[in-house]
Chains A and B, each alone.
Chain A
Amino acid sequence: MTRPRRDPRAERASIQVAGEARPRFDRTARRTGSGRPRRDPRAERAGQRVAAEARPRYDLSQTVRFDAAVITEAQPKAAAAASPKILVLDDPAFLVAVVPDAPGGRLSSHDRQVLGAARALAGREGGVAILTLGACEGVGPAGADRWLPLDAVEGYDPATQAARVAAALTALAPRHILFPESLDGGDLARRVAVRMGEPLFTNAEVVAANGLVRPAKGRRVEQRIAPGLLSTVAPDAVAEYGGPPREARPLPVEAEAPTQGSKRIVSAARVPADPATVPLALAEFVASAGNGITDLDTFRQVVAALRATPGASRVLCDAGLMPRHTQVGASGTVLAATCYFALGISGAPQHLQGVAGCEHVVAVNTDLHAAMIERAGLAIVQDAQAVMPALLKLLVQEAQGTGDETA
């Protein structure tokens, strides 16, 4: 067997790019007949790149044959994103029960964190069961394998509710039971604990299978204990469940509902917070005036029409134009509001510290380069003195317009 003799001149002539005055050669073309194929490191590297990520990431486990076309992972990834696979746990070794607050039939972020903690306790072979009072949505994506929907108690009767939950939990016989350490959840946990006669580990800040940790003695010591039956989980301490959605298979309710308790609670009515008098630190929506506001009467009317709590910057409080208890900032009140509406406030660092906890900020200011404009989700570069009457006019118009429709 003889190797064919190479003809370098012919090879060179075959790769010459035609139609150019200067001789140019295309060396990327596959050589036929002789020698090893040429590697292309750039194409190999590009083939290893994980698709659909802004930051370049490379899957080095994927070895690309240099003579084969590179395989891109874009197609299987897109398919996985289209239909997230629901994890099904058929025969859990044990159950971890969660009793969420679920105000208004929706899981709060604290409830989700408790579900994340339960998932950490359940591990790979355990299952998470959620007990809701009344309907609740989105329990599967939050990490629940089983779902026990109990009937809600009508009216305010926490003792009957606790009896119902305790009976259901006794029938379910989980290994651990977790509650959120919130106003309602903490109350329910303690009622269930005394009813079941079990110790309660409150306010756990670390939840893991090898131990729960809580602060005690005024946060001077921390206590660690092996996970017991009943615990409550502190807010913002444990991460939410981040994995694929779970099944949330409904479980049949076996325990009979205890009858309504005694009629010692005559009536219970919810009184919503009055935005005009609620303390600034507790307010949900704060509208605040700064040095760009001179007409404070209109400001007060706008605040009343928006049903917001009035606030002010240090300058106005120092000048005596607004009461001192309305001051927002490092030396005033640090807010926990959902929305902050800043009128004529440029945003001194001390003022922004007071606003740091607010989720949404709306700012009206004449200065395009003010710090508050930069911080705001909706920033309007305009004189607040001109915007306030327009706002008031619009609100009055809306109220009258709907009044005519309903009349």
Chain B
Amino acid sequence: MTIVVLLSAGRHPVSGAPVLPRMEAQAIRIAASLGEAVGLHAGPDAEAVREALGLGLTRIEHIALPEGLDPVPALSARLAALAPDLVLAGRRSQGGAESGVVPYALAEALDLLLIPDVVAVSGGADTLTLDQSLGRGALRRVSVRGPVLATVHPDAAAPHAYAFGKARRGAVELVGAAATGVDVPQAIVEERPYRRRPKLVKGAPTGGSAAERLKAATGEGGSAAKGRLLVEPDPEEAAREILAHLRQIGVLAGPTKSNS
């Protein structure tokens, strides 16, 4: 089984230093559990992705590409040559535009099946089983046939620890530099230092006064404001009240449902 992990040159969100995005490190862990994997990076410099060698990859293929060119044609050409069974990528880049469109463009170019937000992959060469995150710990277990491109969700297992010896033994190979790149169609974008916007206060009435917004923000306007207080009730009475309240909120299934 051929597995390719797509690697991007990330930037640390605080320091701005080159770093491998965490989701790609998690993708390497998923790939390592299935078999031998190879990393693929397209960009001017492979130094940023060298860290991936210490996290479980033994070999990284680097396509030299000038800054500012669209990596999708070069990557899709190389992927077509490799013909992998499984391609893993992070769900968003880190430190760039962070739009997460590249895996979708690759899937469209190569006519690959794309499964987003995967937390675990198992199975063999014929059929793969992917666990897709639906948020809040719920999963969708998808069985697929044929080559598949999966993006990794942050809820996947934490990456392996960095091993210095492995990082030294691993190799970064330069494969066919894509001379004919296509410029990314740049829309006119104005950049400014980031400014935090005021948070939307949930539950505050539109056009309400500042006092109402403050009440909504501190939780006084919510359930707590019209809270019920039972002082020294009978324990059985208290238990009935608690169960009725939990069912009213909807976190506890009804007595008929819980048994079925």
Contacts and interface: CB of A to CB of B under 8 A. Distances in A.
A269 to B, nearest CB: 5
Contacts of A359: 222-223, 249
Contacts of A223: 97, 189-191
Contact of A401 (B117, B138, B255): B255
Contact of B229 (A195, A218, A279, A379): A379
B101 A200 contact: yes
A364 interface: yes
B230 interface: yes
A200 B165 CA distance: 42
Contact of A271 (B141, B195, B260): B141
A152 B222 CA distance: 36
Contacts of B117: 183, 187
Nearest to A232: B99
Contacts of B258: 307, 398-399, 402
Contacts of A199: 185, 187
Contacts of A356: 219
A359 B251 CA distance: 11
A192 B135 CA distance: 22
Q: Could you say which interface size class chain A belongs to?
A: 35 or more
A284 interface: yes
A264 B74 CA distance: 26
A272 interface: yes
A216 B223 contact: no
Interface stretch (A88-96, A201-209, A317-325): A201-209
A283 B135 CA distance: 10
Contacts of A269: 140-141
A113 B200 CA distance: 10
Contact of A270 (B139, B188, B199, B235): B139
B160 interface: no
B136 interface: yes
A359 B224 CA distance: 9
Residue of B96, B139, B239, B242 ringed by the most chain A CB atoms within 10 A = B239
Contact of B99 (A202, A263, A380, A393): A202
Nearest to A339: B251
B76 to A, nearest CB: 12
Nearest to B259: A402
B193 A222 contact: yes
Interface string B233-252: 10110111111011001111
Interface string B176-213: 00000000010111111111010110100011010000
Interface in A339-392: 339, 341, 356, 359-362, 364, 368, 373-383, 386-387, 389-391
Contacts of B192: 221-222, 224
A341 B145 contact: no
Interface stretch (B8-16, B39-47, B50-58, B81-89): B8-16
20 contacts: A109-B202, A183-B117, A206-B197, A216-B96, A218-B94, A265-B144, A268-B140, A270-B141, A306-B246, A362-B246, A375-B219, A377-B224, A379-B230, A381-B232, A383-B235, A387-B238, A390-B236, A391-B242, A402-B255, A406-B260
Interface of A: 55, 109, 113, 156, 158-159, 183, 186-187, 190-191, 193-195, 199-203, 205-206, 215-226, 228, 236-240, 242, 263-274, 278-279, 282-285, 306-308, 338-339, 341, 356, 359-362, 364, 368, 373-383, 386-387, 389-391, 393-395, 398-399, 401-403, 406
Interface of B: 11-14, 16, 94-101, 104-105, 107-108, 113-114, 116-117, 127, 131, 133-146, 148, 155, 185, 187-195, 197, 199-200, 202, 206-207, 209, 219, 222-224, 226-233, 235-236, 238-243, 245-246, 249-253, 255-256, 258-260
